[in-house]
Chains A and B, each alone.
Chain A
Amino acid sequence: MKPMHADETDPKAHRSMSAPIDIQAVRARLEQQGGPQVWRSLEAVAETTEFKEYLHREFPTNASEWLDPVGRRSFMKLMSASMALAGVTACTVQPTEMIVPYVRQPEEEIPGKPLFFATAMSLGGVASGVLVESHEGRPTKIEGNPDHPASQGATDLFTQGSVLTLYDPDRSQTITQTGEIRPWGAVIAAIRGGLSAQSATKGAGLRILTETVNSPSLAAQIQQVLQSQPSAKWIQWEPMPRDNARAGARTAFGEYLEPVYDLSKADVILSLEADFLASEGASNLHYARQFAGRRKVDESADNLNRLYVVESNHSVTGGRADNRLPIKSSQVETFARAVAQHVGVAGMTGTAPAGSEAFADAVAKDLIAHRGRAVVMCGDSQPPAVHAIAHALNAALGAAGATVSYLPTPEIVPSEQHDALRELVTDINAGRVQMLVIIGEANPVMSAPADFKFADAMNKVALRVHSGLFFDETATLSHWHVPSTHYLEAWGDARSFDGTVSIVQPLIQPLYGGKSAHELIATLSDRPERNGYDVVREYWSASAAAGRSGETSPKPAVAAVAGVGGQAPSGTAPAAVAATAPATPAATFELHWRKWLHDGFIAGSAFAPLVAVVAPDVATRITASAAIEGVEINFRRDETIYDGRFANNGWLQELPKPVTKLTWDNAALMSPSTAEVNQLQTGDIIAIQHDGRTLNVPVWITPGHAKDAITISVGYGRTKAGRVGNGTGFNSYALRGSTAPWHGAATITKTGETYQLVGTQDHWSIEGRNIVRSATLEDFKAKPAFAKQMEHLQLDKRISLYADKEYKGDQWGMAIDMNACTGCSACIIACVAENNIPVVGKLQVSKNREMHWLRIDRYFAGNLDTPDTYYQPMPCQQCENAPCEVVCPVAATVHSDEGLNDMVYNRCVGTRYCSNNCPWKVRRFNFLLFQDWNTPQFKLQRNPDVTVRSRGIMEKCTYCVQRINAARIQAKREDRSIRDGEIVTACQAVCPTEAIVFGNINDPNSKVAKLKASPRNYATLEELNTRPRTTYLAAVRNPNPALPSNAMVGGHHEATESHEPSSPEAGH
């Protein structure tokens, strides 16, 4: 962890620290909170910076600053503050609190039994349905909604992490006006005041800035405001907007359509920088499920699809490519043109970038050979031209209607976000804006393109209101800050990628008295004090009465608002086209409403596919852009903290980024050869110059990255993220301009300084060991049991010093399909959330002390420039002959009669012998008090079914034994045996590709037993005869035989020879 002294260096913080307590504000605040709130001092209610500081330091959160040598500097300072304030708290008489049972038990609420509620989480303008586990009113864990089309039961890592953000003690907790605490009424008054000043000009000076809105009711609300203030403008800003995709679709089709792919029908997939399996696009969960479905080879080897990925950064999707071509992002267009020419798209010509001609040729041939069963996908990072080419390619390949269909966008009012933001800045600078209302996590002060100089402009607006979860960089430049609600705290609605609408229902009262976007927008309307529930419900009852399920926005309004973008072409998005739900009389609305809430979505609200015709002259509509000479810089969303909005989320900060395994920082990723040319090592700081701006960033060498290109993710380097996120990483937004939002030319110079970057896996190579096993499709067909033949020694597996145990009844086991796993890492966060795993901070990760029970091992095989990537989820292997058990001196790790390796935390004295003797090193030791025992919010977050571990003890994956026990109790109550699939481990539940399967291996009909019977099934380190219960299904790759491919891994001969030539250093 880096020290977090932002508060100390901020002059504003100092000012408010010395400010006297505003009694009036405190009173107002108490009134506003209502109810029997316990407060212990004026400082506490006023939430002065001083008091917050006191709280913060008294209870060091998550990321243990105490362990940081630099953090200790402030020790004396903090101690003296604590001592001084200890007196303050002592004066307050604590009111008596009664512990009584429910007088009237809430329906279905049984203490100790969780309830699940359906809702939806939106990110980047697209929603995914979730089921939220609630323990006595506290949301603790998020699962996917199996019935929801975007989720299908899975979630991504952001959704998993979002529950921690809910409880984040650093969330803003009071309404403030330039640092002074104010009641909600004062906000309304200020906004009404600002509006009345606008009445003469019909809102000409009013601007509303939101994230991409996919909430029909919120959009309707905003449009109502715009109707009463016709000259006002609404700007949507997403830090990495999807403008390219919009422009590309408009070029190809004349209107903005979202291509939705059906990968289950695609035999050949060409991804033009589309990271569709993880970070990108509307529906990666859905795509990952479909993709993995086509990697299952046990029933038929011909099911296997083939994935080509052409990209500059090494993405998660790139790791799953059968043939991957790393080229500069700016070269993808010429590559796409070459393929298009070969495939025969009218008017498209081009030569593939030097060195990739054979690849383009082979891809094109393969696409043609699979006409109607092939698909081309294009990433957000590619310019509109490439999107248009992809659309044209799909049309030429007969993909439309087969492997791709076209839907309206889930965004209610799509707009060109860069242009909209540019116009806003121009308006402000021209003095045309008097009132700016910013809602949501877009954080434009941080994320706006650097050339807009948004922060400077913003200071010129007379009235600036910000509402967000955090008092972030944008809040500091606003007059008013209103804490907003987390999606688990407020009512709302949201559309997913296919248009399906979910009603977002709150799981908990706003922890910090936040106001939802609906409630804030209401203050701009003539009914300023409506609550979110009323707004959403009224919208849907009105819409049901009118027989609509989605769109209320009248056409003109759409045009007007879309026009904000400035250059909206004539054919505005057909966003208003929506499937209709049966008209519902008011009387039955309640029934429908309840069903929607229960199901988590409105059935039948999905969009119907549209007929999309690629303009015949598409080739002439696009303008070719030249590939960048020299070094190219790529900006990407971060794989774990998204666009920076999760920067204060310790779980996501500590999650190793899937490909690089880097934690707590971003870095300039570059290929080994580029590093070699520039004489750089991982950790060397380089100065990147791009478009007249300079940023100093450390290098992280990434095999498989395109040469002469560097990739840096956005969202780091924040100063107002909170105690966890402040000062982590480097602010690449400061480098990123509007002209080259995704990639541009750059020069790099070595500064000679270094910076410690911390990853969880330092070693790239698999050292020729047979831990990971793979074969090509041909080899698999010839030898389906190749994985078993890769075993080193065919020893008698029954030899053991100890007597064999008899395994009767339910015996738990797990099978992990390496052919399905994409390495997306959502399972790690699911495990963290389910099992109360602490965050340890960067310093401790640097000492190899991360606590993740489940890690994903990533290996590169083949050459450094175009390696194959293998992901291997590594939970506890739950060995039957567990080496950890026999060495424990106090029997703290013992074998259950169901075959589990149980940890008895209370008995553990912490010799760490079990960890030493674990060949997989999956045990985790609490070297220090990593768990936060004091912060009350985190107490709410924890899973009450899992012990919270203290320092000095060992822990490890339990196969989610609490879930096993819950199922067993249920089965016993119903006098039956546990059904297959009844127990789903946390990692299994979240997995979008169903790579992890858990169950009873004694039941031959169970899914896991069937997988373990697969010829691909193998145990790692089988020669140790520990008999792991976790086994793996070997990967089968399908590289194009016409192209050079890396040798498959796991072969016996490699294992014995390979470590001689490669030094232990070589792999790093």
Chain B
Amino acid sequence: MANHSNNTAPEESPVILPGHDFETVTEIVAEIPLSKRFPLGWIGLLLIGLGGAGMLHMALGYLVLKGIGIWGNNVPVGWAFDIINFVWWIGIGHAGTLISAILLLFKQQWRMSISRFAEAMTIFAVACAAIFPVFHTGRPWLAAYWLFPYPNTMGLWPQFKSPLIWDVFAVSTYATVSIVFWYVGMIPDMATLRDRAMSKVKATIYGTLSLGWRGSARHWHRYEVATLILAGLSTPLVLSVHTVVSFDFAVSVIPGWHATIFPPYFVAGAIYAGFAMVLTLAIPVRRFYGMESLITMRHIDNMAKITLATGLMVGYGYAMEAFFAWYSASSHEKFMMWNRMFGPYGWSYWTLIAINVVMIQLLWSRKVRQNTTVLFVMSLLIGVGMWLERFVIIVTSLNRDFIPASWGMYYPTQWDFMTFFGTIGLFLTLFLLFLRFVPMISIFEVKMLLPQSKVKADHAH
């Protein structure tokens, strides 16, 4: 284990680059939240993010004032950008949970450098996603609580057969567990910040957030147990949340929605989109914060591989959808598939195939996986591709279903775009704040990767 990194094949490069000790790791990571500097680039990006968040507020405010009609939704296309964006954001979140929970259980050490901000990404993505199920309803002021089972004098309960209710439980559980997991994982680092803080204010804030962490053996023991339990709790969520989200479609009778392949296909798609998003975030972050030694090419390479693997699963899903359409012998299914490919929204299907099936084959090449610029562009395109996947599933299935007389086209309005880009702005804002005020890399976990800690560990045994 100790010299594992030295004598293996080239692609098994070290998890972190040599030359670090406990002090440098702490220095690099803790310096960012504790410094007094606000880099211009950060401020510039934050302003963009805040602009987007402000636009989101405006769009949602007008939405509540006027109604869903400001969007392009109609009958037959009752869901459009709202649910596309919801599924897209929820999917993105999945990578964070996968990294922090499943890879933890599988003892994948390379996860340590990226888990913190992947989890942050999860939480912010879920926050963005959660906006849509509430605000896409006709009467959000009621939907906000009527979908929860709360005791009331009228004896009214939600309708538990509806997948939307399952969604409520799935997403709220997911959000809760993710936040708790993220926060628990941060406690030791908060204590580090507290200890290094130069100003009283910072020391107080980080001190409060560290919940009295002193780093005692008992603390560490409790911490390890809590993390394991939370990881155990999170692991099924990685699979269940998007499975339940896919039920929104699979449970219906609409051709293009009513498909048994949806749960695995959605989960694979979520992880695929999520890892692409982690790449989108990690590549610039490691560059601008000089973290190439902590988030190494090994990480990038591994993530690209997972993206490729899950992307292939998604491609298999597309193939199966087409196969089912033929094999089912249902003329409605056949027409649906045919309409997806050659109907008025055919461009969206072929763009999706071009990205999610054709483009990702580049990831077989090690050269591509080592080229961060190409990877960054590809990861952005995968984001687009996965958004289009939901567009294809939702809009092209609804716009031409059973009764030709009720077919209708859907066209988004400015408010649809403002809401969508607004959530991206919100996400950007939250993420920038996270980068600036919270240790973006788990300091104590990365330290465990250092040779120094290995020595001690070996000695201990």
Contact = CB atoms under 8 A, between A and B. Distances in A.
Contacts of B213: none
Given A913-B162, A951-B67, A925 B78 contact: yes
Given A848-B75, A913-B164, A1064-B342, A919 B146 contact: no
Interface string B310-334: 0000000000000000000111001
Contact of B79 (A761, A855, A912, A1065): A912
A910 B138 contact: yes
B85 to A, nearest CB: 15
A953 B331 CA distance: 33
A1059 B335 contact: yes
Contacts, number: 195
Contacts of B460: none
Interface in B53-77: 66-70, 72-77
B406 A911 contact: no
A847 interface: yes
A198 interface: no
A909 B138 contact: yes
B400 A1064 contact: yes
Interface centre among A907, A915, A1020 (most CB of B within 10 A): A915
B139 A910 contact: yes
A1055 B331 contact: yes
Nearest to A926: B138
A907 B405 contact: no
B141 to A, nearest CB: 9
Nearest to A916: B78
Contacts of B161: 886-887
A844 B158 CA distance: 32
B230 to A, nearest CB: 29
A920 B406 CA distance: 8
A1030 interface: no
A762 B408 contact: yes
Interface stretch (A225-233, A280-288, A538-546, A765-773): A765-773
Contact of A767 (B136, B147, B248, B335): B335
A1067 B342 CA distance: 14
Interface string B120-159: 0000000000000000111110110011000000001111
Contact of B69 (A67, A859, A891, A922): A67
A919 B142 contact: no
Interface string A991-1023: 000000000000000000000000000001101
13 contacts: A762-B407, A763-B407, A771-B403, A887-B163, A887-B252, A889-B164, A908-B139, A909-B147, A916-B78, A916-B252, A917-B253, A923-B75, A1020-B403
Closest 4 CB pairs of A and B: A910-B138, A952-B138, A927-B69, A857-B405
A792 B335 CA distance: 15
B51 interface: no
Contact of B146 (A909, A913, A1024): A909
B338 interface: yes
Contacts of A920: 402-403, 406
A909 B137 CA distance: 6
A769 B75 contact: no
Nearest to B72: A847
B158 A761 contact: no
Interface of A: 67, 761-763, 765-769, 771, 792, 844, 847-849, 855, 857-859, 872, 874, 883, 886-891, 907-913, 915-917, 919-929, 951-954, 1020-1021, 1023-1024, 1026, 1055-1056, 1059-1060, 1063-1065, 1067
Given A909-B142, A1024-B253, 17 more contacts: A762-B407, A766-B404, A769-B331, A769-B404, A848-B74, A883-B253, A890-B146, A891-B157, A891-B159, A909-B146, A910-B68, A913-B79, A921-B406, A951-B67, A952-B138, A1056-B329, A1059-B338
A3 to B, nearest CB: 18
Contact of A928 (B67, B157, B404, B406): B67
Interface in B14-72: 66-70, 72
A951 B254 CA distance: 26
Contacts of A761: 405-406
Given A921-B76, A952-B137, A927 B404 contact: no
A792 B331 contact: yes
Given A953-B139, A1024-B253, A889 B165 contact: yes
A891 B156 contact: yes
Contact of B251 (A887, A891, A1024, A1056): A887
A771 B401 CA distance: 12
Given A874-B403, A916-B398, A925-B75, A889 B158 contact: yes
B419 to A, nearest CB: 15
A67 B68 CA distance: 12
B67 A926 contact: yes
Given A849-B74, A1059-B335, A1064-B344, A891 B254 contact: no
Contact of B401 (A910, A921, A924): A921
What is the size category of the interface that chain B forms with chain A?
35 or more
A912 B136 CA distance: 9
B60 to A, nearest CB: 14
A911 B252 contact: no
B159 A889 contact: yes
A917 B252 contact: yes
Contacts of A855: 405-406
Interface string B158-198: 11011111001000000000000000000000000000000
B101 to A, nearest CB: 28
Given A769-B331, A883-B252, A1060 B338 contact: yes
B86 to A, nearest CB: 12
Contact of B138 (A765, A872, A925): A925
A712 B117 CA distance: 66
A844 B70 CA distance: 10
Interface centre among B68, B331, B401 (most CB of A within 10 A): B331
A911 B165 CA distance: 11
Contacts of B342: 1063-1064
A953 B68 CA distance: 10
Interface in B324-369: 329-331, 334-335, 338-339, 342-344
Interface centre among B75, B139, B342 (most CB of A within 10 A): B75
Contact of A916 (B138, B254, B406): B254
Given A849-B74, A889-B147, A929 B142 contact: no
A832 B64 CA distance: 27
A1021 B332 CA distance: 10
B405 A886 contact: no
B405 A874 contact: yes
B249 to A, nearest CB: 9
A70 to B, nearest CB: 15
B139 A952 contact: yes
B149 to A, nearest CB: 11
A1059 B402 CA distance: 13
Nearest to B133: A911
Given A762-B407, A917-B252, A952-B67, A908 B402 contact: no
Interface centre among B338, B344, B402 (most CB of A within 10 A): B402
A1065 B398 CA distance: 16
Contacts of A1020: 403
Given A872-B405, A1067-B404, A886 B73 contact: no
Nearest to B335: A1059
A180 to B, nearest CB: 41
B78 A915 contact: yes
Given A874-B405, A909-B139, A951-B67, A891 B75 contact: no
A920 B405 CA distance: 9
Contacts of B136: 911
B139 A1059 contact: no
Contacts of B343: 1064
Contacts of A762: 407-409
A1066 to B, nearest CB: 11
Contacts of B409: 762, 848
Interface centre among B162, B248, B251 (most CB of A within 10 A): B162
